Copies of this chain bind each other. A is one copy, B any other.
Amino acid sequence: MCPDIDFFGVRMDKAVVLFSGGLDSTTVLAMAREHFSCYALSVDYGQRHESELAAAEKMAALWGIPHLVAQASLGAFGGSALTDSAVAVPLEATEGIPVTYVPARNTVMLSLALGYAEVLGAHDIFIGVNAVDYSGYPDCRPEFIDAFGQLANLATKAGVEGRMMHVHAPLIAWSKARIIQEGLKRGVDYAQTVSCYQADPQGRACGRCDACRLRRLGFEEANVADPTRYQSS
């Protein structure tokens, strides 16, 4: 273990938090920082817009959390509306696995988090996946997270030496409304988060893609005014 000392002299274990700057991962970071000395990791995988990464940067700075952006060129493979400009982002709900699914994205992001955790001496990794809203994505399911946890212990020096790696996905079974409520309790300013698949350079949302629809519905169900900055407003 390699604990950090917090402002009040309390020892806290380190954790790596995958942090996109979106609604879900911002909530996870707000939760994790209550118990861990957090290291936020964003992954630039060739997503269509970079305002998400800019939002992440800003938020991490606000909370005084070290923030690293790793590169992984998933965009080079194409095959997803999020990384391939030849594939349009759908503006209506679709059946089955949507075209916004990025092949192996969460596997790649967790792998990078694992490498970072091992270098830091951290044994805890947080990811904001959610099986309820995104049931179409195979790598958002509890069985995927469990399998990655098992892999993490076989893949690393820490695992070999008997120090377990833990992969936490605290939002996995929550509704978007509950995620928002838990974040608000912890002072998250959701106006600063970007969820939209095609946000503009200022981070303003399109209001029409899947991610926007689910987010808006979440605020409605949570009985909270939607603070999202939309392109039309």
Residues of chain A at the chain B interface (Cβ within 8 Å): 68, 70-74, 76-79, 97, 101-108, 110-112, 114-116, 118-119, 138-139, 141, 143-144, 147-148, 150-152, 154-157, 159-160
Contact = CB atoms under 8 A, between A and B. Distances in A.
Contacts of A114: 103-104, 107
A23 B78 CA distance: 30
Copy count, this protein chain: 2
Contacts of A70: 72-74, 76-77
A104 B118 contact: yes
Nearest to A144: B154
B74 A112 contact: yes
Contacts of A154: 138-139, 141, 143-144, 147
Contact of A147 (B74, B139, B151): B151
A101 B157 contact: yes
A209 B110 CA distance: 31
Given A108-B115, A119-B79, A144 B151 contact: yes
A160 B104 CA distance: 13
A160 B97 contact: yes
Contacts of A115: 74, 77, 102-105, 107-108
Given A70-B76, A151-B144, A160-B97, A108 B112 contact: yes
A68 B76 CA distance: 8
B155 A106 contact: yes
A160 B138 contact: yes
Contacts of A103: 114-116, 118-119, 156-157
A104 B114 CA distance: 6
Contact of A79 (B105, B118, B150, B155): B118
A82 to B, nearest CB: 12
A119 B118 CA distance: 29
